[in-house]
Chain A
Amino acid sequence: MNGTLDVILRLVAVLVVFLVLPLVVGQTEHKVMAHMQGRLGPMYAGGFHGWAQLVADGVKFAQKEDVVPAGADRRIFQLAPAVSLLPYLLVLIAIPVGPNGFVGQAIDAGLFFVLAVMGVGVLGSLMAGWASANKFSLLGALRTAAQLMAYELPMLLAAGSVAMAAGTVSLPGIVQAFHWWWIPWQIVGGLVFFTAGLAELQRPPFDMPVADSEIIFGAYTEYTGLRFALFLLAEYAGIVVLCALTTVLFLGGWHGPLSGSLGWLWTLVKTALLAFVVIWLRVSYPRLREDQLQKLAWTVLIPLALAQIALTGIVKVVIS
Chain B
Amino acid sequence: MATVASADAVGGVRGAVDAHLAAGYFHAYSVVGLVAVVGVLFVAVAFAAGHLLRPVAPTREKMLTYECGVDPVGEGWAQTQIRYYVYSFLYVIFAVDAIYLFPWATVFAAPGFGGTTLVEMFVFIGFLAVGLLYAWKKGVLEWT
Using a CB–CB cutoff of 8 Å, the interface residues on chain A facing chain B are: 7, 10-11, 14-15, 62-72, 81-82, 85-86, 89-90, 93-94, 104-108, 111-113, 130, 132-139, 142, 145-146, 149-150, 152-153, 156-157, 160, 163-164, 167-169, 216, 221-222, 225-226, 230, 290-291, 294-295, 298-299, 302-303, 306, 309-310, 313-314, 316-317, 320
Contact = CB atoms under 8 A, between A and B. Distances in A.
Contacts, number: 205
A74 to B, nearest CB: 11
A261 to B, nearest CB: 26
B80 interface: yes
B1 interface: no
A142 B50 contact: no
Contacts of A104: 31, 35
Contact of A160 (B46, B102, B122): B102
A291 B143 contact: yes
Contacts of A81: 43
28 contacts: A7-B31, A14-B35, A14-B38, A15-B38, A68-B63, A71-B64, A72-B65, A86-B40, A93-B32, A105-B35, A108-B25, A133-B76, A134-B65, A134-B76, A135-B76, A149-B84, A149-B91, A153-B98, A169-B106, A291-B144, A294-B143, A298-B132, A299-B136, A309-B121, A310-B121, A313-B108, A314-B118, A317-B109
Contact of A317 (B55, B76, B91, B118): B118
Contact of B31 (A10, A85, A145, A157): A10
Given A90-B39, A105-B28, A142-B84, 18 more contacts: A63-B53, A66-B54, A67-B62, A71-B72, A81-B43, A105-B35, A132-B65, A134-B67, A134-B76, A153-B91, A160-B101, A160-B105, A163-B105, A230-B43, A294-B143, A303-B132, A317-B109, A317-B114
B57 interface: yes
Q: Is the interface of B mostly helix, strand, loop or mixed?
A: helix
Contacts of B134: none
Given A63-B55, A135-B76, A85 B43 contact: yes
B125 A298 contact: no
A108 to B, nearest CB: 7
A85 B51 CA distance: 19
A150 B3 CA distance: 58
Contact of B65 (A133, A145, A156, A294): A133
Q: Is the interface of A mostly helix, strand, loop or mixed?
A: helix
Given A10-B31, A105-B32, A310-B125, A139 B80 contact: yes
